[in-house]
Structure 1
Amino acid sequence: MLDSIRKIVNEPFFNQFITIVILIQAAVLVLETIPVFKEYYSFLESISTGVLIVYIIEAGLKISASYPNFSSYFKNGWNILDFSIIVLSLIPFGGGYSTIARLIRLLRVTRLSNRSKEMSVVVKTIIKSIPSMVNIFLLLSLLFFIYSIAGYHLFSATDPAHWGSLPRAIITLFQILTLEGWVEVMAPATHANPLNIIYFVSFIVIGTFIVINIFVAVIVRKSEEAYKALEEEIRNPATQNEILFEIKEIRKKIDELESRLTR
């Protein structure tokens, strides 16, 4: 029985079927936003319920396939994500919390992120980059703090619309960081004193050209590490459970041949 379950779980068709189910859930989410399909809401609800049942069956099969070492199922980050989505989907949100229930359905579609190895690598890259991103974010926050206070004291009198308070100054700096309309923001300040251009140029050079490029460099480095890990996985694809499963299959074939020979 367990051998059959493991065989089903390892079949490429099983993974493809789950992908189709996820796409169906995505289609239902789209149809729910179209007013014409409001009258079919109960039918769409039934499809979403069916999708959840498929998810539960899939998780049950994978957990059963990991017998007797059930903890191996939860050692996989993707399995933890899938299991968490199922648990959240089973929480009965009603009344004013029905919107939360609909938003939880969006989580079901996030499972598309691990349907292929390439997409898994991209997600792993983002996750592995988070610690480095935190340090870059702290550096950027310090930069914003210094320049927003300096901008408030330098330009609040000449351009209160952009620099009249600390929150406004921070929003203005964020606009400058995106390089969108920063010339118009700079114009009143440089009109009052041409030397103020040093403030804007220095912020763009440090914030956009240096800090943001460091951020990109971190993503690229983590991406290279993730692809190297994928290459290692491709070189050594077989896990212990898979090897044991193959050995059992070979033994079955040998037993079948022996029984035929004895006949």
Structure 2
Amino acid sequence: MSVPGIPALYESTVRHVRAEPVRHSFAYRTYYWLVDLDDLPRPPWPLRALSGFRAADHGEGGAASTRADIDAYLAGHGVDLAGGRVLMLAHARVLGHVFNPLTVYWCHDDRGRLARVVAEVHNTYGGRHRYLLEVDERGRAEVDKDFHVSPFNGVEGRYRLGLPLPGDRLALTVALHRRGRPPFVASVRGLHRPATPGALLRLALRHPLAPLVGALRIRRQGIGLYLRGLRVHPPRAYDRGRRERTNRTR
């Protein structure tokens, strides 16, 4: 799939649907960036406070750049892109705030072929974890869950993911399947917007402090579910930290 202009913005709707033990769903509007890790955007000075990208916000957090971090991660699992392009979908820092429940990296080799997709998950406890995926031609993959995200889901089950490279539209799906139980489904649907200063300003005004507001909405929904009596699964010590392990598709 050709990508219509990088960097790009995607005005999006995030939706969570839970079928049991209580039926619950919620959705909120936000926007994401799709960026080339070798050519991160630098809008005019007044707008840079709305578009900060820092290596500390991803992966181990200590690399010189996010590109260096993802290359080191892939090399640790036997994958060499030989300088190929890496596209990242994520929230940028807005006035110093950022929270990325899901960051996706589409990693291409030096011939432009998609070599791997990396799904990076952040939880509200400060933990981070990456899943290294081999996707099919439609961007689909399956992987065992190996990281505590929601306080209402334990660390068991298997993810079925749809992570096609965005084009004119963004359409991502993460479904958690557990034996004999209906899935929990999260999705992101969005439309491409050129990353012009005007488009960025309009989206920032329409969705102010989007990463922070998104995190607050998730926490508010969690409080509501707790008050409805859902069992809380405490996170493991591992899931509170920033260490990473891979979980390959089988």
TM range (shorter): under 0.3
For the pair shown, the structure with the greater C-alpha radius of gyration is 1
Which is richer in helix? 1
Which is richer in strand? 2
Higher relative contact order (CA 8 A, sep 6+): 2
